[in-house]
């Protein structure tokens, strides 16, 4: 299935991109699964999405937990904890 992924702030800078459309292999069905899948690209991906790094995710523009299920056509975003206000 195909999903849209967005990256913001320090994650966007580390990866050198702000968005991409990705065809996911079968078995990638959650936010956590997607993060693991992207990390397997290695290099900047392994670092920016490293397991110990504190990250937030959104699913279709709502804050989402790692266990949240994803489906074709979803918009998923990864970013660091927010610092507005």
Which of 45-56 are b and which e, b meaning 16 or more Cβ less than 10 Å from the residue's Cβ?
beebbeeeeebe
Which is closer to another protein, CB of 10 or CB of 40?
Answer: 10
Of positions 16, 25, 52, 62, contacts another protein by CB under 8 A: 62
Task: Rule CB under 8 A: say whether 77 interacts with another protein.
Answer: yes
79: left (phi over 0), alpha (psi -120 to 50) or beta: beta
Of positions 1, 4, 8, 22, contacts another protein by CB under 8 A: 8
**Which residues contribute to the site for another protein (CB under 8 A)?**
6, 8-10, 54, 58, 61-63, 77, 79-85
């Amino acid at each position: 299935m195909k999903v849209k992924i967005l990256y913001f702030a320090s994650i966007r800078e580390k990866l050198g991109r702000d968005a991409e459309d990705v065809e996911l292999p079968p078995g990638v069905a959650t936010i956590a699964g997607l993060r693991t899948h992207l990390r397997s690209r290695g290099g900047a991906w392994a670092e920016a999405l490293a397991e110990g790094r504190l990250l937030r995710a959104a699913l279709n523009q709502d804050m989402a937990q790692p266990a949240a299920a994803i489906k074709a056509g979803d918009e998923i975003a990864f970013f660091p904890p927010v610092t507005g206000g």
